[in-house]
Structure 1
Amino acid sequence: MNRFVTVAIPALALLLAGCASSGPTRVAQAPVVSQPAVVAQPLVPTTAQTVQQARLTTSIANGFVDPAALNLMTAKDSSEANSAQFYALQFGRPGAPRQWAGDKGTTGSVAVGPYVRVNNLDCRDFTHSVKISGADYVRKGTACREQNGNWNVVQGAA
């Protein structure tokens, strides 16, 4: 009898295992709820968007450079100074001047202070120095970034 039980139990187990796997296998799946597509929009414009918008109207002729120097500057000088002024205001570290060079030895630098929030606008103090034919021209002031991204001088001093 003991021998019969030893052989019968494993044979019965194999028989039952064969029966269980002979039919089609069905797996129950829980219902899937699809999520609505969410498009992530940045809260602030990207750097490329900000640069493109602000460069359209940021101009050193609007009080960023001493008017006496502005009258002596060439188109290349103005372009280089304008670019340096914009990038210093937009991305510059406080106290780290941004240098520029134009035609015929004309050079300049723009230094900015930290961002200060005034009337819900980002503002920065700036110092724009221009050197033309050995003469130095310095313009200091405060510029604020308007809601459209453009920088405008709100206070200037020679």
Structure 2
Amino acid sequence: MNRFSIIALPIAALVLAGCSSTGTTRVAQAPVVTQPAIVQPLVPTSAQNVQTAKLTTSIANGFVDPSALALMTAKDSNEANSAQFYALQFGRPGAPRQWAGDKGTTGSVAVGPYVRVNNLDCRDFTHTIKIGGTDYVKKGTACREQNGVWNVVQGTA
């Protein structure tokens, strides 16, 4: 009987396996998970404040030498403003951020480390602009206000 069960068991398994493959097979589909709708926060996040700060920080507010500002085109101003903001906001100390404008106008912005003054983040900066072979250099200190806007608090030409 022991031999019979050793031989019969595999044969029975093969017969049953053959029977199960002849019917239609139904495959259950897993539920589909959709992405939840993105809901805007009621309070602006820091990333949203950064974007607002970029739009309101202006090189015309003391970030560049006034004599250079008078010679700059709109593209020059936009490029310089963007470089100034990103250097202040994200720049590594001593690593200048380069920019290029119209007709060969170029510039760079170098910043120092963050310093905490009166509960505000402040940084020294040097903004150098080259227009027609002449260098215009503006050095100063800028602080980021509570609303994210960078303002020059001290500057020298």
Amino acid at match of 1:52: Q
Amino acid at match of 2:151: N
Residue in 2 that maps onto 1:60? 59
Rounded Cα–Cα distance in structure 2 between residues aligned with 1:73 and 1:108 = 11
Residue in 2 that maps onto 1:20? none
State how 1:80-119 maps to structure 2 within 5 Å.
80-119=79-118
Please report the TM-score for the alignment, with normalisation by the length of structure 1. 0.70
Runs of 4+ in 1 over 4 A off after TM superposition: none
Residue in 2 that maps onto 1:124? 123
How far off its partner does 1:107 sit? 0.1
How far off its partner does 1:45 sit? 3.6
State how 1:8-157 maps to structure 2 within 5 Å.
45-46=45-46, 48-157=47-156
How far off its partner does 1:132 sit? 0.1
Residue in 2 that maps onto 1:27? none
Amino acid at match of 2:78: S
Rounded Cα–Cα distance in structure 2 between residues aligned with 1:117 and 1:45 = 22
Rounded Cα–Cα distance in structure 2 between residues aligned with 1:65 and 1:45 = 30
Q: Which has the larger radius of gyration?
A: 1
Between Structure 1 and Structure 2, how many residues are aligned? 116
Partner of 1:124: helix, strand, or coil?
A: strand
How far off its partner does 1:55 sit? 1.6
Rounded Cα–Cα distance in structure 2 between residues aligned with 1:56 and 1:94 = 23
Identical counterparts, % of pairs: 85
Rounded Cα–Cα distance in structure 2 between residues aligned with 1:45 and 1:120 = 20
Please report the TM-score for the alignment, with normalisation by the length of structure 2. 0.71
Rounded Cα–Cα distance in structure 2 between residues aligned with 1:121 and 1:45 = 18
Structure 2 portions without partners, runs of 5+: 1-40
Once the two structures are superposed, residues 71-117 of structure 1 have per-residue CA deviations (whole angstroms, 9 ceiling, x without a partner) of 00000000000000000000000000000000000000000000000
Residue in 2 that maps onto 1:34? none
